[in-house]
Amino acid sequence: MAFGEFELIARYFTRLGAQRPDVVLGVGDDGAVVVPPAGMELVAVLDTLVAGVHFPPDCPAASVGHRAFAVNLSDLAAMGAEPAWALMALTLPSVDAGWLSEFARGAAALALEHGVALVGGDTTAGPLTITVQLLGFVPSGMALRRAHARPGDAILVSGTPGDAAAGLAIAQRQLSPADHVMSDYLRRRFEYPTPRCALGNALRGVASAAIDVSDGLGGDLSKLLDASACGGELEVETLPVSEQLVRAVGRARAVDLALTGGDDYELCFTVPPARFAQLAALSEAGAAPVTRIGTVVEGHGLRLRRGSTVTQFSHRGFEHFV
């Protein structure tokens, strides 16, 4: 079934996601018009997914749509922002109606779940690349940052990092666990990550600093510590790796994947002792499972403590062009 750019936009992207009363003008004009709420600051994020770089070319289309929104929702979550509006630049090698409707279905489900309206974008021909820009808001002055962690603050992480890296290895057929239930679980953790939006919102006024874990917990935590001009000590024993991951690759490799794997989209954040009570209350409210994994210290760099042995963490995380 052949159709062009305009029909494609009309079919799949004119009313994708939530219908929001603050959208004055959405897809169809030269620009979108939205109404930011009074007293709020806008937070803008943007992330690109390139086929063959950020996902295997044969990744299910619904997963690609989900991830294009999830990676951006995760950035907003790490800022403590509430998501609202999206723009999407889509570069497609060809018009494949089956692929497009699955892609739009995956994107729409997550956008709807988080109340996000797609208000505009651009569509071009070329190698498969998806760029989503999300706009959200925070009460003025309340955005979470990577800076502002202080010695003595607890370091925490949500969920079970490391699963997604194993899931990607399974999708790429580099890892093949015998147990299908375990294998499917890990693969889904790569294909359908859960952005921690409710947690990010709840951490406003509680966390001293936050970052989303997209390139491995060790590297991303190191970025937070550098931005805060502090060091950190991580208790390796306390890392929350999933039972499925440990069964698939063993405890040592699971820890390694949690520290250096990618694509988890969990939140890593710091909390001052004076706010531990608030943190306990929000854990009970169930925004997301969180685990204390270490402490912010004076100095710089991340140290890993295993019993009485302490080593310096040195992996730099994923860098393009290197």
Q: Which residues bind Mg ion (CB under 5 A)?
A: 122
The structure tokens listed for 32 are 């979108």
Cβ at position 118, least distance to ligand ADP in Å: 5
26 or 80: CB nearest Mg ion? 26
125 or 252: CB nearest Mg ion? 125
DSSP β-bridge partners for residue 123 = 90
Cβ at position 104, least distance to ligand ADP in Å: 9
The residue whose Cβ lies closest to Mg ion is: 122
Pick one of Mg ion, ligand ADP, none as the site partner of residue 162 (Cβ within 5 to 8 A by kind). Answer: none
30 or 319: CB nearest Mg ion? 30
The structure tokens listed for 126 are 């070329």
39 or 98: CB nearest ligand ADP? 98
Distances in Å between the Cα of 210 and the Cα atoms of 32, 143, 148, 197 are 30, 10, 9, 13
Pick one of ligand ADP, Mg ion, none as the site partner of residue 269 (Cβ within 5 to 8 A by kind). Answer: none
Cβ at position 121, least distance to Mg ion in Å: 8
Q: Which residues bind ligand ADP (CB under 6 A)?
A: 9, 13, 27-30, 88, 90, 118, 120-123
Cβ at position 124, least distance to ligand ADP in Å: 8
Residue pair 205/273 in contact (Cβ under 8 Å)? The answer is no
Cβ at position 133, least distance to ligand ADP in Å: 11
Pick one of ligand ADP, Mg ion, none as the site partner of residue 13 (Cβ within 5 to 8 A by kind). Answer: ligand ADP
Burial group, residue 140, by CB count within 10 angstroms (0-12, 13-18, 19+): exposed
122 or 179: CB nearest ligand ADP? 122
Cβ at position 8, least distance to ligand ADP in Å: 8
User: Which SS3 state, helix, strand or coil, does residue 117 take?
Assistant: strand
- The whole-angstrom separation of Cα 246 and Cα 296 is 27
Pick one of ligand ADP, Mg ion, none as the site partner of residue 9 (Cβ within 5 to 8 A by kind). Answer: ligand ADP
- The whole-angstrom separation of Cα 126 and Cα 48 is 14
Other C-beta atoms closer than 10 Å to the C-beta of 151 total 13
Pick one of Mg ion, ligand ADP, none as the site partner of residue 121 (Cβ within 5 to 8 A by kind). Answer: ligand ADP
Pick one of Mg ion, ligand ADP, none as the site partner of residue 286 (Cβ within 5 to 8 A by kind). Answer: none
The DSSP result for 147-214, as a single string, is S---TT-EEEEES-TTHHHHHHHHHTTS---S-HHHHHHHHHHHHS----HHHHHHTTTT-SEEEEES
Cβ at position 122, least distance to Mg ion in Å: 4
- The whole-angstrom separation of Cα 219 and Cα 95 is 38
The DSSP result for 6-68, as a single string, is HHHIIIIISS-B---TTEEE-BTBSS-EE-PPTTEEEEEEEEEEEBTTTB-TTS-HHHHHHHH
Pick one of Mg ion, ligand ADP, none as the site partner of residue 118 (Cβ within 5 to 8 A by kind). Answer: ligand ADP
- The whole-angstrom separation of Cα 214 and Cα 64 is 16
Pick one of Mg ion, ligand ADP, none as the site partner of residue 241 (Cβ within 5 to 8 A by kind). Answer: none
9 or 198: CB nearest ligand ADP? 9
Cβ at position 82, least distance to ligand ADP in Å: 21
65 or 177: CB nearest ligand ADP? 65
